[in-house]
Homo-oligomer: A and B are copies of this chain.
Amino acid sequence: MMIPPAVNLGIDIRVLAEADGMAAQLAASQVGDYRDAETVLAFAENVDVITFDHEHVPQEILRQLVDRGVRVHPGPDALLYAQDKLLMRQKLTDLGLPVPTWARVRTEDELQTFLDDNGGRAVLKTPRGGYDGKGVRVVSAGHEASDWFAAVAETGANDGLLVEELVEFRRELAQLAARRPSGELVFWPVVESVQRDGVCAEVIAPAPGSAGRVADVAAGIAGQLASGLGITGVFAVELFETTDDRLLVNELAMRPHNSGHWTQDGSTTSQFEQHLRAVLDLPLGATGTREPHTVMVNILGGPSEGALADRYADAMAMHPTVKIHNYGKDPRPGRKVGHVNASGTELDDVVYQARAAAAFFQD
């Protein structure tokens, strides 16, 4: 999704891509494995700046890139926190940012103690590699995590697992922001992120009723995070709005994020254009909304037979104002294969348009 703004701005973009998806159609693309140092280092020789659309590139490779003088944004020191949830929780705590009560647990007994102290149920997370609800489990007894403890013990380091209180929240919010290496920092309006089965189902931008205190607190947290962690590029802070009106940091994504897909059609500057500007250290674009409300609905799984495109005729005929985004990926159950954005002045209608259009693409 960074290709369209790169084409518009005349930026010569090169992609180290997995074979699947549209990116591999760029002549400048190379199909290869981001975990292979030789591949990444060779690829980096022909670019001025390197960035990633996920946080999983190994630290050793990131640091080799920096050592060779490649501009890497976000840099390895910042990405470390997005790669390891335990490091992130510790850093947020050190920065004095509001987080759920948490602990590092290495044994069933330690987990049981945490449960006993925190209402008998908690959220257990693997520090690395989780996304979209993977690597997250709600537990109410220490022995329910015996498999995960065994797995982390096998790694040798045995860094343990992250356990967090089960936060009583009203809703989930996300604060999208961008920061340049030279320090300029901009925020989009805070959004509401509606989750189903641990996966983002839809995003309402701005979050209803967020103007004023909520927007102020959310931007304040994101700003502290950005400077405290030295983030460059676009990043998203996922927040819990608790039933007692606090905002707690849930997760941190150090890249353009699903909660920011609404900006492609709903904001003056999309998160993908902004990320390109930020990593190139160009002045950041305006982050205002084009229309009072924009709603993004994810397309999950997709049609079991045939391509998404087979559903275009009906969806387009019924919803001429809705913008359809199709990632060109093979549908698999639960896989995000596209999304739609709807914008307008009446929130109820915008939600309806987005959901109804997306429904054409789901079985």
Residues of A within 8 A of B (CB): 1, 3-5, 7-12, 22, 24-29, 264, 268-269, 277, 282-286, 288, 290-291, 307-309, 312-313, 316-317, 320-321, 323-328, 338
Contacts and interface: CB of A to CB of B under 8 A. Distances in A.
A154 B22 CA distance: 50
Contacts of A283: 312-313, 316-317, 320
Given A25-B27, A291-B290, A10 B320 contact: no
A27 B313 CA distance: 28
Given A4-B7, A11-B309, A327-B10, A320 B285 contact: yes
Nearest to A280: B312
23 contacts: A1-B8, A4-B5, A4-B7, A4-B8, A8-B264, A8-B324, A8-B325, A9-B325, A10-B22, A10-B309, A25-B26, A26-B27, A27-B27, A268-B320, A268-B321, A268-B323, A282-B312, A282-B316, A283-B312, A283-B320, A284-B320, A285-B321, A290-B291
Contacts of A25: 12, 26-28
B321 A277 contact: no
A330 to B, nearest CB: 12
Contacts of A24: 27
Contacts of A320: 268-269, 283-286
Contacts of A307: 10
Given A277-B316, A282-B313, A283-B313, A323 B8 contact: yes
Contact of A3 (B4, B29, B284): B4
A25 B316 CA distance: 30
Contacts of A291: 290
A192 to B, nearest CB: 23
Contacts of A312: 9, 282-283
Nearest to A315: B283
Nearest to A23: B7
A90 B330 CA distance: 51
Give the residue among A268, A288, A338 with the most B Cβ atoms within 10 A.
A268
A277 B1 CA distance: 20
Nearest to A22: B7
A323 B268 CA distance: 8
Contacts of A323: 8, 268
Nearest to A324: B9
A284 B312 CA distance: 11
A332 B25 CA distance: 30
Contact of A27 (B12, B29, B282, B324): B29
Given A282-B312, A282-B316, 7 more contacts: A4-B5, A8-B324, A9-B309, A10-B309, A10-B327, A286-B321, A290-B291
Contacts of A328: 10, 12
Cβ-closest 9 pairs across A and B: A10-B326, A4-B4, A283-B316, A283-B317, A10-B328, A286-B321, A286-B320, A27-B27, A25-B27
Contacts of A28: 25
A284 B7 CA distance: 24
A32 to B, nearest CB: 15
Nearest to A8: B325
